[in-house]
Structure 1
């Protein structure tokens, strides 16, 4: 007999005779009431066991975590808070669970404990909800760009280029680490490596994406990226996913329009398609907020925060104007900021970004025209010679969520910038070719997918919004 998903049973327009459901036991009360969940929804379906006609052996095996199959009638529930339940006629144990040793007991676990059991944490309500929201957001990303006529491009995971110029990259090699070949200068001879050169895992698909935008007009990448930054914080992962559109003939204003429209679309899509999960996550966040000091509590619930992004136009502010606002702000004057703003050129921190969004403008903010010396080499230099056509989108509770720019399309200016930063022209000869042959104004942005999931789910640690987090000293599972 074909089984029906719990979500579909709970949403059935009518009572049903002889249905089959399969899933995992969340709880089993009084030898009669099973809370069954199959991952299709955050809601369990209650299965009422006819214990008089169920063997003692079967009853003993219905334990938390066990996989079971139940067959019976879908009837109106006599219990509060649920529309339907299954009056069970037959139970089959598909997979036993040692209830005493099963880590995911029906109680509250710390997030740290759940990270140590990442292979099982998705069976909890919170992580089931997070991963369903993540899945829906992923679909929404593709849906938006496909509807807009963008071409999906799979850029390389292995690369010889460092797009960010940060140098914090994971090296890829097939050379024997206990007997590395050396050249005449005594350095490692990468000509004998698999690719014949020094290669790494990519930190961004942007540079390769630009080459496709110069032929296909508008493209996007959505894939894994890697950074060997030894930061053990709630905001960093060594492996994460990036969304990076690139559009020919778009200037910075066009880029800001695209980013605002895109991010509002995917958030609305999540609200429309993840109502039960977001309602649960909002309740979870409210409970978490109660344990914080009043001053640290959020002024908005999760859904209020999401609607804050949807209902407000993003305020566009130059970096220079933002610095003036921050320098004259009360927290800065009273030295309540951890990083005091004294002069133009400072690299803004999350506390500054959140102040602009939550206190000053009370709307999402797009900052633009940043100092050139704190931004990447590929960003278009402004006529003032000291700022670049960069933009960052700032959200409540999280600060920067999107970073992008109009790219430097002028060959001579790009070469000069690369020379000043010590970037090897020969290494990026192919990138410079896009400026040699039919160069045009173009722009793009990057959105860390986990940062988006973090915002939409209300979680506070980025390790909790990716299935298996990769962090310093941790590559378990």
Structure 2
């Protein structure tokens, strides 16, 4: 990690957790609302407009952000729907789409498929969901938000708050229970339903500034062997 244009050795993760959250749609609205609230003031920032003014080739990106913010809501696909779309265009990919997950090229294709806009992927299969995600019959209440040019920007889920279900899930996934007993105790002695997510800040900056290399979103280099002391 840290040597490709898509990865950093260190990155900033913005994390949020909300209590009494039990509806997947409410979690998506929270994520979308945060992003729109962060991006909207940017359109009124003189420095941002000067940045684009001095790089005319990127003006279309600013116009695209304006269209993005005008969307009533981001499109939403289930994992199965997204997989079927990719399978129907399998010849376009280097990596064949499969139930084992979506690669970055699949994520970017899906964004293009909806007009170059962000989209949510929901209802993830068991094998692709962390142990703490809440079960919803045969799938889990996880959500990924894909953004054009960067792929996955946000990952989150509703959290399982029932101890017995957590223990079963951990055993199914061979997660060591002993080292996470503290997490189980939080639920065992009373816990509200919660949901939360993590957002990759540098990926958001990369999208906004339309830069090819994510390392250009940092104020100074943090790549291996680039800053010897």
> TM-score, length-normalised on structure 2?
0.89
- 1:237 and 2:11 matched: no
> Are residues 283 and 346 of structure 1, via their aligned partners in 2, closer, same or farther at CA, if it must alter by over 3 Å?
farther
Matches within 5 A, 1:31-50: none
Bigger share in helix? 2
Quick one: distance in 1 between partners of 2:42 and 2:105?
Answer: 27
Corresponding residue for residue 286 of structure 1 = 57
Q: Please, which runs of 5 or more residues in structure 2 have no aligned partner?
A: none
> Are residues 421 and 278 of structure 1, via their aligned partners in 2, closer, same or farther at CA, if it must alter by over 3 Å?
farther
Runs of 4+ in 1 over 4 A off after TM superposition: none
> Are residues 265 and 302 of structure 1, via their aligned partners in 2, closer, same or farther at CA, if it must alter by over 3 Å?
same
Task: State the secondary structure of the residue aligned to 2:16.
Answer: strand
Quick one: distance in 2 between partners of 1:411 and 1:456?
Answer: 41
Corresponding residue for residue 61 of structure 2 = 302
| Cα RMSD for the two superposed structures | 2.1
Greater relative contact order, per chain length (Cα 8 Å cut-off, separation 6+): 2
| 1:426-454, Cα deviation, whole Å (9 max, x unpaired) | 22222111210212321001001111111
| 1:231-264, Cα deviation, whole Å (9 max, x unpaired) | 5211211211111110011132111000001001
Quick one: distance in 1 between partners of 2:226 and 2:174?
Answer: 33
Matches within 5 A, 1:73-222: none
- 1:446 and 2:205 matched: no
> Are residues 440 and 236 of structure 1, via their aligned partners in 2, closer, same or farther at CA, if it must alter by over 3 Å?
same
Choose which of 430, 433, 446 in structure 1 pairs with 2:185.
433
Corresponding residue for residue 137 of structure 2 = 383
Corresponding residue for residue 69 of structure 1 = none
- Conserved? CA contact 2:52–2:62, under 8 Å: no
Corresponding residue for residue 359 of structure 1 = 113
Larger Rg: 1
Q: Please, which runs of 5 or more residues in structure 1 have no aligned partner?
A: 1-229, 288-299
Quick one: distance in 1 between partners of 2:179 and 2:80?
Answer: 34
Choose which of 87, 90, 95 in structure 2 pairs with 1:327.
87
Residue 396 of structure 1 and its aligned partner are, at CA, apart by 1.7
| 1:450-469, Cα deviation, whole Å (9 max, x unpaired) | 11111111112111111223
- Conserved? CA contact 2:75–2:114, under 8 Å: no
Task: State the secondary structure of the residue aligned to 1:428.
Answer: helix
Choose which of 316, 331, 340 in structure 1 pairs with 2:76.
316
- 1:338 and 2:94 matched: yes
Greater shift after overlay, 444-453 or 467-476?
A: 467-476
Quick one: distance in 2 between partners of 1:467 and 1:320?
Answer: 40
- Conserved? CA contact 1:282–1:302, under 8 Å: no
- 1:266 and 2:20 matched: no
> Are residues 239 and 475 of structure 1, via their aligned partners in 2, closer, same or farther at CA, if it must alter by over 3 Å?
farther
> Are residues 422 and 468 of structure 1, via their aligned partners in 2, closer, same or farther at CA, if it must alter by over 3 Å?
farther
> TM-score, length-normalised on structure 1?
0.45
Q: How many residues align?
A: 227
> Are residues 449 and 360 of structure 1, via their aligned partners in 2, closer, same or farther at CA, if it must alter by over 3 Å?
closer
- 1:418 and 2:177 matched: no
